[in-house]
Structure 1
Amino acid sequence: MSITLGVVDHGAGNLVSIAQGLRASGAEVAVLTDGGDWDRFDGIVLPGVGATATAMRRLNSHGLVEPLRSWRKPLLGICVGLQLLFERSDEDGAECLNLLEGHVAKLIDAPRLPHIGWNDVTLRPDPLFMGLGDSEPFYFVHSYAPIPSDVATIIGTSEYQAPFVAAARLGNVVGVQFHPERSGPAGL
């Protein structure tokens, strides 16, 4: 039996490649443009590219903020989608979804931004990484990364001149800074 996933379309995400990757993994995928009936979904994917303030404005204008905040099944944030899960972003002072405690900050000591390319991610035991090793390569495109208030929520770390959080989880809410849809077999 396949799972049914909703992919949030807030106008700032790489929906096509994410939907294709999820379908290739055996999931049924529907694109969500509003906060309507989500009960039919087993999980929600929140992708994102660009700035957090722009993404939050779009989530608000599409009526998606409250449905995301009240969602109790699995929720996966990807790239800016991960950043939106936190309380706020230093990038533009945006108030975010407040599903994970902490904030998003610019990568420190980075030789060049955005950070684009493959990095090994040290993985902590988590169902999201079932079947993967302790360290796997993933593809990144970002200038900011989260700083969780509770280190127990960190499930993946990487380095770009300095360490940064690559994945975090609290209950049903999980996010990854990398792009799983562009990360080959380890990604999806």
Structure 2
Amino acid sequence: MSEFTCGVDEVGRGPLAGPVVAAAVILDPRRPIVGLDDSKKLTEKRREALYEEIRDKALAWSLGRAEVEEIDRINILQASLLAMQRAVAGLAISPRHALVDGNRLPELPCSAEAIVGGDGRVACISAASIIAKVSRDREMVSLDARYPGYGLARHKGYPTRAHLDALKARGVTDIHRRSFGPVRRLLEAGE
């Protein structure tokens, strides 16, 4: 059964910019991966190493995402669930069961269970957490080159003081979530 259980997690619910990214991972019980944990508890170097190992050893893995326009249209919770659905749908092996980090479940073509704190307790969810975080972080570094001056490579789009100051000084870009309070207030103020 475990071969056909996928772990699902998302990253990027809190940022003011960029997509929300989810991953689904089916681990291979014959090829264990040591050191899996909640991606937020790992150093960047450790996450990067585990990312490569997961991609190499997993039976299947997939990314799903929801873009800024979708986040603004349907809200961040629904966009997160949509990204998770897309991640599971993209798996090369159809899972029989999904273990999803958090307390909400997306509609999936298999049975599913929500596990609060699962990214730190369930290996396949930890793996999904790592795949999603490294993938989104890399994308934000790439966006930093396209949108210089916002500090995206450093804060990954989260509402840090530096990001808020850059938004005020430089304005809102097309990768910023217009439905999020700080961005919406700037737009309403005509900045």
TM-score of the pair, normalised by structure 1: 0.25
User: Which structure shows the bigger proportion of residues in strand conformation?
Assistant: 1
TM-score of the pair, normalised by structure 2: 0.25
User: Which structure shows the bigger proportion of residues in helix conformation?
Assistant: 2
Q: Greater CA radius of gyration, 1 or 2?
A: 2
| Higher relative contact order structure (alpha carbons within 8 Å, sequence separation ≥ 6) | 2
